[in-house]
Structure 1
Amino acid sequence: MKLRWYTVVIDCRDIHAQARWWAQVLDGEIVYEDDNEVAMIPGGLPEGYDVDAPIPAERWHREPPALVFVPVAEGKQVKNRLHIDLAAHVDDDRDAQIQRLLDLGATQVDAGQDPEQVTWTVLADPEGNEFCVLSSRDH
């Protein structure tokens, strides 16, 4: 018996706006939406994929995790204890990707990192949830 990483749940005030923002960031696809949650698959779904069809057991563990946005009444108050790390491929322009995120509404955050000693940039989404853009990678 195995467990699968199924979702990362993000508390937010405007679940629809946050889900759409992250879908833009991660070229994702919204696969479920109601007033209590919005689910988004980063990278989107393969052509012909049926989100309502059962997934065979042999494929279950290879499915990507979703981001699920759920409503909370309060705004963010302290630094996240869990955050998402993003990375560009070495063939991509990391600085251009950071600028794209800023243009989409991200903000640069000082989480105590020393920019002279770290290889990542800390940003926050439109509701203030921190995430990092790591150095470019190829594995």
Structure 2
Amino acid sequence: MGLRWYSTVVDAHDHRALAAWWAETLDWQVSFEDENEAAIIPKWLDEDSPGVPFEQVGPGLVFVPVADERTVKNRLHIDLAAPLHESQVAHVDALLARGASRADVGQGEDTTWVVLRDPEGNEFCVLSSRES
């Protein structure tokens, strides 16, 4: 058995606020937070969930405080997609209303995805709606 992708760690100036923003964005829950980190996981998953095999648990997101400013484009980003029956435009509008901003990373005018930045400037994409 190979290693399991356990979490993705995101640097943040206000790790608690950014974790809460992403938890709302993904409809997840904050599972842990202290002065050193804040972790979010899907709502259906409780870290102490009995009966969920280790290899079936998807990765969470962990936000850690940093003081330095990011100066270049992210080397890694998250792609989000809504189900087919939901509008990509509506989701983008909702994210913008909650503090996201549009980003131009050279994606061109004819792309089917939208590049945004979270409230701390981390880029992510909202893809066209997809099948579940």
TM (norm. structure 2) is 0.93
The answer as to 2:34 corresponding to 1:34 is: yes
Which stretches in structure 2 are left out of the alignment for 5+ residues? Answer: none
**Residue number among 98, 104, 107 corresponding to 1:113 in the alignment:** 107
The answer as to 2:83 corresponding to 1:89 is: yes
Which stretches in structure 1 are left out of the alignment for 5+ residues? Answer: none
Aligned-residue offset at 1:120: 0.6
Any idea what SS the aligned residue of 1:110 has?
Answer: coil
Report the count of equivalent residues: 132
Distance 1:55 1:82, change over 3 A: farther
- The 1-side partners of 2:19 and 2:100 are apart by 14
- The 1-side partners of 2:17 and 2:69 are apart by 14
- Indicate the residue corresponding to 2:55 in structure 1: 61
Note the aligned Cα RMSD (angstroms): 1.6
- The 1-side partners of 2:129 and 2:109 are apart by 16
**Residue number among 83, 92, 98 corresponding to 1:104 in the alignment:** 98
